[in-house]
Structure 1
Amino acid sequence: MSNPATPENPATPENAASTAGRPFGIRARLRGWRLRTKLLLATLGLLTLTCVTIGVLNHVVMNVFLVQQLDGTLLEASDRALNFPLPPAGAPPSDSPGSGDRTDPLDAPGQGGPGLLDVRFYGNTAFSNGVTLDDGTRQALSAGDVGILASVPADRVPVSADLSFGDYRLVGQVQEQTGAVVVSGMPLAATNNTLLWLGISTAVVSFVGLLLTAALGYLIIRRSLRPLEEVAAVATNVSRMPLDVGDVALAERVPESLVHSGTEVGSVGLAFNKMLDNVAHALQVRQRSETKIRQFVADASHELRTPLTSIRGYTEMVRLTEQLSPEGIQSLGRVEAESRRMTGLVEDLLLLARLDEGREEARSEVDLTRLVIETVSDARIAAQDHHWRIQLPDEPVTVWGDPGQLRQVLINLVTNAHVHTEPGATVDVSLARERRTEGGIDAVLKVADDGAGIPADFQERIFSRFARRDAARSNRTGSSGLGLAIADAIVSAHHGTISVESIPGNTVFTVRLPVQPDGSVRQGGDGTEPHEAEPHGTEPHGAEPHEAPPEN
C-alpha cells in the first residue's frame, strides 16, 4: 500500500518538488536579509577565512622550521655517535644483565640531554642503554621500539616515528669500521608543544580580532548605510501619499546633504530626487488636465439644465394643449423619458463636480437604520420580482453626514443589485457595527445578491466613472456608469470606504462609515453650532429589528 501524500512522506510528487526547491528557499531567505547583515557576515567570513589560512601557513612553516632545526641537531649527535669507541667483543646487549657498565655516547657528559636516543645494530643484535626521560629515570626499549628502530634506513635522512615513550625524529648511519648501523633519535615533544601553543595563540588572537571586527564593522556599516535609510524613509513617505486623486503637492525630497554623485548612496539620492521631480511634474500636468475636464463637465452640465428644463416644459405644454395622434403621443413620451434621463445624468455630473471640489454640504446626525428600511421598502415596490431580506441590529446605527447623499449611496447600491440580476434573485441588505483594530467603531452596510457575479478584471475599475461592462451583468437599463462612482465619491467624502467582492452566486458591496457615538459633539459642514446627538430607543422607528420576512 502506498503512503499518503503528507509532509513526512518525501516520496510523493508534492514533497519531491518541495525538497527539490529547498535550496531556492534558502537563497530566497538570504535575499531577504538586510544589507548591513550581509556586509557584516561577508566581512567576518572573509576575515575568518584569512585567519584560518594564516594559521595553517604559520603551522606549516613553523613545523618545517622547527623540524629542520631539530634535524640539524640530530645529525650532529648522530655524527658524534659514529665516533664513539666500539664495545668489546662479545659484550652483552644494553638491556641484558651486566650491561650497566657501558656508557651510551648521547648520555655522556656534554653529549646531549634527557630524551636522546642511541642504538647500535650489529647484525640482528641491538645495543642500547634505553632512554632518559624528563624526570631523570631511564626507560628500556621495548621489543616494538627495537623493531621500529631496526626499520630506520641507514641513509642519513631523518624520519619521524611514534615510539612507546613519545614521538621521535630518527636518523640511521653505517659505522664504516664495523659495519654496524647507528640509529640516533631526538624527541619531538618540544616541537609539538611549540606548534600547539602557536595554534592556540593564533586561534585566540583571531577570535578576539573577529569580535573587534564585528563590533567596529557593525558601527561603521551602520553609519555608512544611514544615508540609505534616510532615502528609504523618503520613499516610504512618498508611497503613503494619495497620489491617485486630487491636487498632490509632492514636496518630499532626499536632503541635499545626501545628494551628490561622489558616493553610491549619494548617486541613489540624486537619482531618486530626479525621479520625484519628474513624478511631481507629471502629477501637476495630470491635475491641470483633470481640473480642466471637470470644470468643463461642470460648466456643460450646468448649462444643460436650462434647455433640459425647457424641453420638459414644452413637452408637457404640447401634451396639454395639442391634439396628437397615437404615434405623436408615443413620440412625445419618448422625448419626456429621454429628457428625464438626461436630467438625471446632468445632476449626477454636477454632484460629482461638487464632491471633486471638496465642498461639504450641511452635516447632521443620520440614522442609517431608517435609511435602510425606507430604501429597501421603495426597492421592493420597484422590483417585486426579487426576494428582499433585511438584517438590522437591535440599536439604531447613526453616523455624521449628509442625509441626502447617504440616501443616494443606498439607492445606487440597491438599484444596482436588482437591476443587474435576473428576476427571482435574492438581495440581502444588512447593517451592523464593527470595532476597528486601531480603535473606533464603523457602521458596516452590506448589499449582497446571488446573481451571476462580476469578473475580476472589471472589479478593479468598477468604481471608475462611466465604467460599464456589458458582459459582466445585463445592461437592460442603459446605465450611465456613474452610480458606483458617485457612491464611492460620497463615501470618501464621509471618511469611509466602499469595496466589492464577487464570485458567481455571491456579490457583496461593503460600505464602512465611522459611527457617531451617542452624546459626542460635532460641527456641521454649514458652520452651525455643534449639538449633542439625541438618544434613540431600542426599536428602530417601529421597524422590525432583525431580518424582515422575504417578499416574493
Structure 2
Amino acid sequence: ESARMSSNPRPGVALRTRLMFGLLALLTVGLSATAAISIFALRTYLFQQTDDQLRGAQNLVTARSGLLARMTPVIGAESLQRVIAPTDYVVELRLRDGSVRVVTGSGSGPTPSRPLLDAVTDIDARIASGAPFNIVDGGRRFRAIVGVLPAKGGTDLVAVPLRPVTTTVARLAGIELIASLAVLIGAGISAWLLLGRGLRPLRDVAETAAAIAGGDLSRRVPDSPVRSEVGRLAAALNIMLGQIQSAFEERVRSQERLQRFVADASHELRTPLTSIRGYVDLMRQGVVPPTGVDDALRRVQEESARMSALVDDMLYLAHLDEHRPLDRSNVDLSAVLRDAVADATAVEPDRPIALTCPDRCMVVGDADALRQVVGNLLSNVRVHTPVTARVEATLARDSTRVHLEIRDFGPGMPQESAERIFDRFWRASGSRDRIHGGSGLGMSIVAAVAAAHGGTAQVRSAPGIGTTVGLFLPVGEPESPDPPTGELGSVNYERQAAGPPA
C-alpha cells in the first residue's frame, strides 16, 4: 500500500495557478492598504475641516450670545429659526437659570429630539479642553463643541450633523471597492495569459524530460533567449542532455565491447585448454606411446605458455582500461627504439631494417610500456610480412609531441582491415587463423598504451604497398613516479625480451 501511494503522489497545484493567486493576493493587500490609507486620510481631513468650522461658529455664537438670548424670548425659537438662513448648525444656549434656548436653522435633517446639552454628562471637562467631540441623538451623530457665555455665565453648544462626512467616506469606500475588484479581475486575466506565455518554455522542458524518460535521448529543449533565466536553463539542460546521451551511448558501446571481449577471450582460452586436456587425457589412458610422451608434454607446455601470454595481455589491457596511473619518468625513446631494432635484427638477421632517429629523444612516460609498444610494432611486422620485406623505423620530435613510425613494404592490407587493426582479438590473416601464433592483442595494447600516455595510434595501409603504423605521444613534463601498481608491465617486457610475443 505504501509503495502504491509513493508511486502515485498527490497532484499539486500548477505553478501557473500558484503564481497567479500569489500575485492577486499581493495586489489585494496593496489595494486594501491603499484604500484604507485613502479613507483614513479623507476622514481625518473632513473631521479636521468640520472642527475648524465648529470653532469658527462657536466663536461667532459666543460673540453674539447676548443678542440671541434677548431675541429668543421675544419672537420665539421657531420664529428665530425662520429668520436665520437655513443651516445644518445646531446652536443651544443654557442660561444661568438652567433653561436651554435652542437656535437652529431649517437644515436637511430633523432637529434633535432633546437638547444636545442634556446629553453631555462631562460638560465641565469638555469646556476646559475646548476640543470638539461626538454626540449621538436618536441614531444621528453630531460633532459638537461647548463654551462659556461671557455675558451671563451660561453655556453655549454648537453642533453639526456628521452625516455628510460619513456619507462621503462611505461613498469613497464604495468607489475603492468597485475599482479594486475591477483591477483584480483585469490583473487576474492578464496574469493568467502572461504567465501562460512566460511558463511555456518550462512546459517544453517538462515535455522534453518526459520524452527522454520514455527513451528518446535525441530530444532537446527548444532554444530561448539566452539573456532570460529560462534561456540559460534551456542551454544548460541541452548541454547536460548531450552529455547524458554521449555517456549513455558510450556505456552501450562499452558493454558491447565487453561482451565481445568476453566472448573472444572465452574462445581464445578454450582452444589451448582443450589441447592441454586432450593430451593429458591421452597420457592418462595410456594411448600415447613412451616415445611420444616428450612430444605430448612439449605441446602441453607450448599451449600453457600461449595461454599464459594471452592471460598476461588480457590483464594488461584491463589494467589500462581502468585508467590506473602509469609509472612516469624521463624515457629516452631513441634508446628504446634502437634496442628494439637490435632485437628484431637478432631474430631475423636477413631482414633489412633502416633506423632514423636522433641521438636522444626524451619523453615522459612508462618505460616498460613504451618498450612493449615498440616491440609489438616490430613483432607485428615479423608476423605478417616476409623476411625480405624492408622495414623503416623513424623517430622525430617537435616542440609538443613525438612521432614514432614503423613502416614495412610488405603485402599490406585493404582499408576495411586497416580500420580494425586495433580491435582486440582481430587478426589481419583471418578472424580465427592461428598459423602465426598471435593472440590478436598486440596492436590493441599499442593503442591502449598510446591513449594512456595522452597520445594516439594511427595506421595507413594498401594492398601491394605496405603498412605504416604511427604513434603520436605528447612530450609532457617530468613527474614524480607514482607508487607501483603491479608487475604487469615488467612481466610483459621480460617475456618479449626473451623472444617475440606470441
Q: Give the TM-score normalised by the residue count of structure 2.
A: 0.49
Decide which structure has greater helix share.
2
Normalised to the residue count of structure 1, the TM-score between the two structures is 0.45
